[in-house]
Structure 1
């Protein structure tokens, strides 16, 4: 394990990296255009994630500045106890050591996830996808300039330019110690990493997020939330895939048609369960297995439910454990829903698109975990630490 860098040095590297991104903005965009022109365009969501424009660079810079301003997550005392024999015992946060981040398509991860892991006192190994290689290598070049400027060894941030076979070999027989692996991408990537990894893995899992429209919903808010959740960015894990409408909602059939009409203005393919098909004439789902799917495309499924409890049970059965929202004017029903739906983030009258480290005040996230250990939901700076026990004695024996 590398010697922990002081918080002053860590912040200095992050500040320099933010300045370099601004300085090299035009070159980064030009290099990214090469990646985009080389990409086949076979996957619309992946292509969207690949794009680095001014807004994306602004977001990277903001993330680094927010990280710089946050307190050091390492060395925070979490527990203190004085033993009856006089020993003083405390538990403090500690860096993991070396973190490997494996991701698809998104060059911004090379900045944001790398920054969070670095500020947490960790050495970073980054393994991006081949479709974003040129963009990633340019960003790594800037990381190394920022490290050198602060007189820090460049191996604190390493890029692993491996193909699939080389990645598998590294996971199974690492050529250096790796303490934690975070895969960010589709289910195939996650399953690949879990199958071959020989150290702990935090899964940044699939979305498949639900909105439940309770019988007491404000319909204007509902419509806006559904349109935003589905159409504002289809390529992200917090996008909306499923809508459940309470059949006790007055004239739910008319409202379902209104939702469908609005979605179709955005060229969203709408599928329905039997009740929705009968009420609106949309195409029927072929199998209940579709309720398990995350789409990452302009596609949505709308169904009905007969009660709040039925909605909760359906969401818990099919969702990806990421995000779910209830739209209702009844606060007690909302609270019951939020306490019983088993997802990392639960919402009342808001879009699932907010499940994001930056939106939650964390300054970005390393990943959004759908596991329950060791941290659930957006993994921010303060979560990317383990802990260590410190015991101070004067010769005590047991």
Structure 2
């Protein structure tokens, strides 16, 4: 057993060493070469779509045999349309401006020194994720475009799909003359390999976990490497007393039902008491028509007496359902709504529906979340929707990055000082 662990330690350490060497090369590669690799990858994905679906079906069969939850299987599934969208996403990243080398600040000191603060790659980024194989491509292309090497450790649920995708990425790197170690996948699902990966702070500069709360907490608690993360997506909509009824219904239905299995879907609905009597029945009917289970506090339950509801427990408002379930509470004021969101929410994405700008501005200042919306669905918290290209993740941390993370968030900076012989 010790020999097996030793072999895994060596495997992961070798991958990390090669990634570090590749990252030093990537930092000097020009934009055209990086874009060439991305366009090559997009073409390869489209050319091999059928073969990729064959590999994906192996993972789906295993997932169904294990009776995995429907939301997880939905995230795991590849279709021709999703592969086409993924390839288009790669091309969109190629079209984005290269952040590397951007001058963030420049100043000339009294002694004549010119001090430039420039954007540079982080170095080596480790991405740990579960059942969404599109993450393999999203993260690889963002790391490449921003000059970072990537080490990918996907979940066992998507092992065949991820392995195929990693092979296509290697092909694109070879065709473009980029170091093939720039993107590597951990070729085992053994948990020991993950444990070793999280120790290698001499080679890896950042870890980004994407998946369920238990995985992310494990990574955060066991990593020697800085971690950028969000634990859950407990998002909310607050319908204010000054809300437009039609707009409120449209946003709530979209935010809850457009795709229930993703982290920017709402789990809680808060309604101002002065609007609850008239608006809540309309919202409840629209949700019920979409087969959403309604878990309600006592005030909402009294208003919705003719509806099929369940009493909401305190724990229900903390829950990330990722399913056709919503918790509903009637609140006395925008202040109460903000307090509830800050108490129950995960700091991800929250929206206010109101025609009152003063109230909206109060909501913006008082809700402690990475993204806050006014009269719009939380479903827009996404790298593509924000114009960032494919996102590498969404952070609810305060340091380095917050919200959807694109190319700029995969960079650090350095100071470049130019002189003409100055000495101190």
Smaller-chain TM-score range? over 0.9
Contact 1:370 1:377 in 2 (8 A): yes
Given the alignment of the two structures, is residue 15 of structure 1 paired with residue 39 of structure 2, yes or no? Answer: yes
- Distance in 2 separating the partners of 1:149 and 1:292: 48
Contact 2:200 2:225 in 1 (8 A): no
Contact 2:103 2:116 in 1 (8 A): yes
- Distance in 2 separating the partners of 1:27 and 1:357: 28
- Distance in 1 separating the partners of 2:252 and 2:401: 28
Partner of 1:240: 266
Counterpart among 274, 278, 282 of residue 258 in structure 1:
282
- Distance in 2 separating the partners of 1:148 and 1:330: 56
Deviations 1:134-156 (A, max 9, x none): 11111111001101101222111
Given the alignment of the two structures, is residue 367 of structure 1 paired with residue 393 of structure 2, yes or no? Answer: yes
Partner of 2:69: 43
Gap change, CA 1:383 and 1:296, over 3 Å in 2: same
- Distance in 2 separating the partners of 1:173 and 1:159: 15
- Distance in 1 separating the partners of 2:105 and 2:279: 53
Partner of 1:170: 197
User: What are the within-5 Å matches in structure 2 for residues 201-212 of structure 1?
Assistant: 201-212=227-238
Partner of 1:117: 143
Counterpart among 291, 296, 301 of residue 327 in structure 2:
301
Given the alignment of the two structures, is residue 148 of structure 1 paired with residue 177 of structure 2, yes or no? Answer: no
Displacement, 1:95?
0.6
Displacement, 1:323?
0.6
- Distance in 2 separating the partners of 1:121 and 1:173: 20
Deviations 1:274-308 (A, max 9, x none): 1012221421112x232222111111101010111
Displacement, 1:208?
0.5
Given the alignment of the two structures, is residue 78 of structure 1 paired with residue 104 of structure 2, yes or no? Answer: yes
1:172 match: secondary structure? coil
Partner of 2:48: 24
2:267 match: secondary structure? strand
User: What are the within-5 Å matches in structure 2 for residues 262-273 of structure 1?
Assistant: 262-273=286-297
- Distance in 2 separating the partners of 1:341 and 1:387: 30
Displacement, 1:173?
4.3
2:274 match: secondary structure? coil
2:216 match: secondary structure? helix
- Distance in 1 separating the partners of 2:115 and 2:337: 47
2:187 match: secondary structure? coil
- Distance in 2 separating the partners of 1:331 and 1:25: 48
Displacement, 1:161?
2.7
Higher mean displacement: 234-243 or 165-174: 165-174
User: What is the number of residues matched between the two proteins?
Assistant: 394
- Distance in 1 separating the partners of 2:68 and 2:137: 25
- Distance in 1 separating the partners of 2:43 and 2:230: 29
Contact 2:235 2:265 in 1 (8 A): yes
Deviations 1:301-332 (A, max 9, x none): 01010111111111112211011111111122
Higher mean displacement: 154-163 or 141-150: 154-163
Contact 1:207 1:322 in 2 (8 A): yes
- Distance in 2 separating the partners of 1:206 and 1:118: 27
Counterpart among 340, 343, 356 of residue 382 in structure 2:
356
- Distance in 2 separating the partners of 1:255 and 1:310: 18
Contact 1:269 1:300 in 2 (8 A): yes
Partner of 2:10: none
Deviations 1:77-123 (A, max 9, x none): 01111122222111100011110000111111111111111100001
Query: TM-score, normalised to structure 1's length?
Result: 0.96
Given the alignment of the two structures, is residue 106 of structure 1 paired with residue 156 of structure 2, yes or no? Answer: no
Given the alignment of the two structures, is residue 6 of structure 1 paired with residue 33 of structure 2, yes or no? Answer: no
Pairwise CA RMSD of aligned residues? 1.4
Displacement, 1:397?
3.0
